[in-house]
Amino acid sequence: AQSVSQHNHHVILSEAASLELGCNYSYGGTVNLFWYVQYPGQHLQLLLKYFSGDPLVKGIKGFEAEFIKSKFSFNLRKPSVQWSDTAEYFCAVIRSSASKIIFGSGTRLSIRP
């Protein structure tokens, strides 16, 4: 069955540190990939997406993610985090021409000021 794995459940960083959150998926066909963010008290927002083309995609607030097809990965990165990046981050995958989006279990990011 199709699945999405986010191995880091809780990440704690200091401000200005670099961030990388892992995401791996199990489906071997053509996929569309997403990172969503949920700030405290707010609803899920789209951070960035990959449909096709350049495997390095840039999203809002300085985030980027790289799609590596051979590794079935779509890791999220940010060179320098801020306290305001404290949130829960979800990776999601959908097969092309499908309707079912599979979410990972999420990574909670805490930033120390």
Positions that interact with other proteins (CB under 8 A): 4, 6, 32, 34, 36, 42-46, 49, 51, 90, 92, 94, 98-106
- Residue (34 or 81) nearer to other proteins, CB: 34
d(CA 113, CA 109): 13
- Looking at the Cβ atoms of 17 and 103, the one nearer to other proteins is 103
How far apart, in whole angstroms, are the C-alpha atoms of residue 41 and residue 21? Answer: 22
Structure tokens at 76: 């999220």
Q: How far is the CB of 21 from other proteins (least distance, A)?
A: 13
Smallest gap from Cβ 113 to other proteins, in A, equals 25
When the beta carbons of 77 and 95 are compared against other proteins, the nearer one is: 95
Q: Which is nearer to other proteins, 1 or 113 (CB)?
A: 1
**What amino acid is encoded at 29 in this protein?**
G
Nearest approach, Cβ of residue 16 and other proteins (Å): 28
How far from 76 is each of 1, 23, 41, 59, 98, CA to CA, in Å? 24, 8, 22, 10, 24
Closest residue by Cα to residue 33 from 79, 86, 94, 85 = 94
